[in-house]
Structure 1
Amino acid sequence: MNFETDEALLTGESLPVAKEAKVIFDADTGPGDRLNVAYSSSTVTKGRATGIVYAIGMKTEIGSIALALRATDKRTREPRRSKDGRVKPHRYVEAWGLTAGDFIGKFLGTTVGTPLQRKLSKLAILLFGTAVVCAIIVLAANKFSNNNEVIIYAVATGLSMIPASLVVVLTITMAAGTKRMVTRNVVVRTLDSLEALGAVTDICSDKTGTLTQGKMVTKKAWIPAKGTYSIGTSENPVDPSIGDISHNAFAPYHAPQTEGDHEKAMPYTDHLEDNTHLKDFLNVASLANLARVYKSEDTWKARGDPTEIA
């Protein structure tokens, strides 16, 4: 069976995956290794096949990703179960305690928000506790007298522990950091993201389709009767109307080292004028593959094997 699908959207795999209908895999096999399954949101790049639909909507792999993105933290903790699936009584008490701790932490702000926000919440709790202790000390020194002056002095002592300018200082600091990042071509939409960025120690990023476009591009073509054609950079690799081509009369392994030996880069239409060798080369390349490059609503699109598209 000559059937391949592009699963870049689901697994990040840049190359098409050849499917095999007769193989069987274990239930815990990952989506990228299930060669007998064609997934929703993937596109067919080669061949034909007949399949049986066993999952739709949110039951598909792409649907499970959507559910995971939409899911929110549960308000209650589930009790731990033993290997036989039973739950011991003390596990319920443990789950209730953890649930209560989560609620209190969320209410006080010590378990939600950015790292800086959590630290500020803990600092606020510490200052509040210190203020209460100071107020109690003032009242105790005056034998807990209900005199107005004593009460006002105790309250003033507690309020003096609150850093009134802390919010202003933090805002100015964040604004200065944002301005500095703008000079490095980094756009910060919210200050919260800047706070979280300061706590990052390692960055793990997907490459295909994130740092790169996940598309192949032909950079050079050698026609023995004419020489080597080099393709310049292009923002859209599948758009044949943009990008320039340069030419030199040498083979790739004898290519000139200086740009002066290259012809000036020109649009591909200029190279096609009275150039039967290049036309024959392009005709053979277009007829010897199953890829399709087409224009839809003023946008060039491609479907098929990435190598053949290139």
Structure 2
Amino acid sequence: MKFKIDRFVLAIIATITFAYFFPQWGIEGSGFPISIVSSIGFFLIFFFYGLKLSPQQIKSGLYNWKLHILVQCSTFLLFPLLVLLFYPFVHTEEQQNFWMAFLFMAALPSTVSSSVVMVSVARGNVPAAIFNASISGIIGILITPLWVGLFMEQTGAEFDYSSIYLNLILGIILPVVLGVSLQKFGHELALKYSKQLSTFDKSVILLVIYKSFSESFYNNVFSSVSILDLTLVFGLVIALLFTVYTIIGFIATRFKFNTEDRITAQFCGTKKSLVHGTIFYKILFKNTSASSLILLPLMIFHAVQIFIISIIASKLAKREV
């Protein structure tokens, strides 16, 4: 079987490399309004998401409540609790920063596009995947800041829930609602140019990644991160993914899910959204010293989940029905 590395993963690597050699364009005071451009970009991402959202498909998945509970509990409870198990072993400031980065990743909602695509490739329950991936982003607006804030407050970092939720409402809910309200005029158009909109989404994410790593490289933040640390992060990410995937599969079997529902539960329940992660990162960690390291486990997880789940999906697609 022939596998190709996802182009977006290659684009992330290229963006980080570019930030390493040319960090001066991504820092504050560079003359390029990168923060304003990225904020507008995120607003448009969720606006177009609202335009594409299908109420009929969401309604069709409402009745499979056991599947929905399993996916959402895996996303917002199982992931963070597994990371929480390692909190007693955190002693130094560097360990605290890396652990917080993992907790942030673990508390994020599921990604929409890749969840639905992978479930479709594996011939799973696509309507249920659409429902869970969509509702996950809404739940994450409430749950993710609670998980992160619980431990940031213990470190003495500034964490204003009212300001954070206001920014999330203005940055995510408002554009989605606006997009849904204008579906009569733009729904078909958004679906027609869905591929181009996906490219736009990824471009905005790459812009935020460039800004984050430019500031990190410019301020020599990664000078303390060794190859051993990166290898450890990579190994922990893979272990976390397979642990959650296995636990979800076990529970799905005990609940006597059919094959299609089990695929949906395992694929949607193991995803973490880089789109939500980058916008949450901008809001939650703008006043902390650990901000430059926060996206590292998430970006590694994004690459790993695409690669591994795509392999599993390809094998499941060949099964007899």
Tell me if TM exceeds 0.5: no
Higher relative contact order (CA 8 A, sep 6+): 2
TM-score, normalising length from structure 1? 0.18
Structure number, greater radius of gyration: 1
Structure 2 length normalisation: TM-score?
0.18
